[in-house]
Structure 1
Amino acid sequence: MAPLAPPVAAIRHAVRRALAVLPADGPVLVACSGGADSLALAAATAFVAPRSGRAAGLVTVDHGLQTGSAQRAEAVARWAEQAGLAPVEVVRVDVAGRPGGPEAAARDARYQALTEVAGRHGATALLTGHTRDDQAETVLLALARGAGPRGLAGMPNRRDLNGVPLLRPLLEIDRAQTRAACSALGLTPWEDPHNSDPAYARSRIRADVLPLLVRTLGPGVLDNLARTARLVAADNLVLDGLAVEALAGARHPDGGLAVKVLADLAPAIRARVLRAWAHELGAAPAALSHRHLTALDTLVTAWRGQGPAYLPGGLRVFRSAGRLLSAGPDQPSGTRSRNVRR
């Protein structure tokens, strides 16, 4: 019997560790494009899940953006059925007309489809094939865009998406390992042309920036970037917990926030409180930017009688009688924000 290839063993171990913390009921679903990362993940899950007494299926999404995408999706589904995965679904999505650039629109459509399938099958979790290299790229993009700690934390191992746990078992596995695992298992990954298209910032990071960093600083730079994400994420967890307590302490019975309480908070905590409150008001997380949060903070720390801060969705936040109050797009905010100085 031939020895198990180390990359195959490493990926199976990563999947086994991820599945071990899930409830026993319900299947897990692997999101698989047919690329090396998700294909190696799907193969490992097909091996590990039944040996753990767990059902595992696969979902592949056809974005319809490339010639032959439907045939590619069907080929992934046929392979999954042969590998013993069930249920297996192909989902076609329409990317046109969605907000954001093509990458963001495709991502939103994909995750919406994945969570709908997961909900229909009562899935315990969705598994995606993001690797350590993807994490390093995410951190570099966040740095380039001037992101704060939330962006520098990169992708979490687990997040809830529309009520479905999304797990990333391979964040400590590199892309070379997933390719080696596919080769050892006799699998031929699909090469997504978008991954090498210089029109996309992530593709330029992958093709030019990361190789340059590795040549200049050594191969450990990828691990270092991924470790930075883990360390920042751990700090964020503590700060977010403090912000939950601070938000509770700042609430006013009328639903607003007490300016005096906000002003006494450390800036890092106050920013998180204002972000969380904006989310409660209905501002979409993806649309809420640093500019919006700065405008809210100015109402607390640099009040000069100015008018409201505008948030995504037509929301307005104004200051009156020592409180931050909100108004929807069809609600008048009155004259208090202009006339009251506290």
Structure 2
Amino acid sequence: MDSAGLVRRAVAEFAAAHRVGPEVCVGLSGGPDSLALTAAAVGAGLDVTALIVDHGLQPDSARVAVAAADAARVLGARVHVLPVRVGRGGGLEAAARDARYAALDEARGGRPVLLGHTADDQAETVLLGLARGSGSRSIAGMRAWNDPWARPFLGVRRQQTLAACTELGLAPHHDPHNRDPRFTRVRLRSEVLPLLEDVLHGGVVDALGRTAEGLQADNDALDEWAARVLAEAARGDVLAVGPLRDAPLAVRTRALRAWLLDIGATEPTHRVVTAVAGLLDSAAVADRTQIAVGGDPDVRRVVVRTGETLTVRLTAR
């Protein structure tokens, strides 16, 4: 099978469909997915700069970054190595991801960044979202194009990127973290998805990808509806109850979440949005109730019901 040709066509078709290029960056870790992506982008005629983030989390991370840089140059890409400092907030995986995206965004210079996420990564993301139970947005997975982030390989399986590297004579790095069962995503990859494929007789990864695509379209439509409702109801820190109370639940919660973000709430959880939505239903309860929606170290934000409006109040901690 011509896996190298397959990944090259995937990038070329993606670039044409989304009008990406000719100048692009590729987030290159040195692993098979991103290395195959770099080769495919160059092979598709794009002007490629490989951005290599060195997280410094492993003793040989600098050596891995140098090897990835050498491989990218041989393929015909320009190279920038980006050392970062990874914090510990939210867990190691989340902290590394935040540091990586911040470094890529700073270095891209206005160009789109191609990322090597595959169909397998999408399936894992959908399952993780399902486990969190935080609604359709959580299980809609990653978008193929979410400016400036581009994911041409969401229809490509991980085994195909590895085969492409073999065909092209590339020697990808295999991150030991990707085999460490301490990470939830690793156990999904090595235990849960293979079991689902066995029990359901195959096709699970593709089915989860189709689910994500369908939910993304549904979410876009509902978000547009919610934006219209919010525009009618919101006046800064004051929100009219009527338009939201009359909207379907899926629209109401989206509008409330957007409003909470606008008034400075920290990332609103399902529990917080549900609690604020409860203020729409009963003035008798709402007049005695305030819902904490986060804030900063010095100021606490609460939402209260007053008559036919919701308002946000700031209180010192």
Instruction: Establish whether residue 89 from structure 1 lines up as the match of residue 80 from structure 2.
Output: yes
Would the alpha carbon gap of residues 328 and 62 (structure 1) be closer, same or farther in structure 2, given more than 3 Å must change? farther
**Given the alignment of the two structures, is residue 316 of structure 1 paired with residue 302 of structure 2, yes or no?**
yes
Matched residue, 1:289: 269
Q: Deviations along 1:249-283, whole A, 9 cap, x unmatched?
A: 1124x641111221111110000001111121223
Contact 1:26/1:122 (8 A) holds in 2: no
Residue 45 (structure 1) aligns with = 41
State the alpha-carbon separation in 2 of the partners of residues 61 and 329 from structure 1: 41
Q: Give, in angstroms, the shift of residue 96 of structure 1.
A: 2.3
Shift of 1:101: 0.9
Residue 44 of structure 1 and its aligned partner are, at CA, apart by 0.4
Gaps of 5+ in 1: 332-342
Match of 1:264 in 2: 246
> Could you say which residue in structure 2 is the equivalent of 1:150?
137
| Counterpart pick for 2:48 among 53, 56, 78 | 56
The secondary structure found in structure 2 opposite 1:152 is coil
Which residue number in structure 2 is paired with residue 19 of structure 1? 15
Post-superposition shift, 1:105?
Answer: 0.5
Task: State the shift of 1:308 in Å.
Answer: 2.1
- In the other structure, the counterpart of 2:213 is 230
Kindly tell me the number of residue pairs found equivalent between the two proteins: 311
Q: Secondary structure at the match of 1:312?
A: strand
Percent pairwise identity: 45
One-letter code aligned to 2:294: P
Letter in 1 for 2:291: A
- For residues 179 and 229 of structure 1, do their structure 2 counterparts lie closer, same or farther at Cα, with a shift above 3 Å needed? same
8 Å Cα contact 2:136/2:219 also seen in 1: yes
Deviation at 1:22? 5.2
Instruction: Indicate if the aligned counterparts of 1:27 and 1:122 stay in contact, CA closer than 8 A.
Output: no
CA distance in 1, matches of 2:316, 2:9: 54
SS at match of 1:20: helix
Asked if 2 retains the 8 angstrom alpha-carbon contact of 1:182 and 1:189, the reply is yes
Within 1, Cα distance between the matches of 2:294 and 2:60? Answer: 38
- The answer to whether the Cα contact below 8 Å between 2:50 and 2:72 also exists between their aligned partners in 1 is yes
Asked if residue 276 in structure 1 is aligned to residue 264 in structure 2, the reply is no
Task: Pick the aligned partner of 1:306 from 285, 288, 297.
Answer: 288
Q: 1:96 to 1:20 in 2, by over 3 A?
A: same
Q: What CA distance in whole angstroms lies between the structure 2 residues aligned with 1:152 and 1:8?
A: 30
Deviation at 1:7, TM superposition (A): 1.4
Question: Normalising by structure 1, what TM-score?
Answer: 0.86
RMSD value, Cα: 1.8
TM-score of the superposition, structure 2-length normalised?
0.93
Distance 2:45 2:305 in 1: 55
Give the CA deviation at 1:93.
Answer: 0.9
Distance, in Å, in 2 between the alignment partners of 1:47 and 1:23 is 17
The AA in structure 1 aligned to 2:240 is: A
Tell me the secondary structure at the aligned position of residue 288 of structure 1. Answer: coil
1:250–1:68 CA distance, 2 compared to 1 (3 A): same
CA shift for structure 1 position 26: 6.9
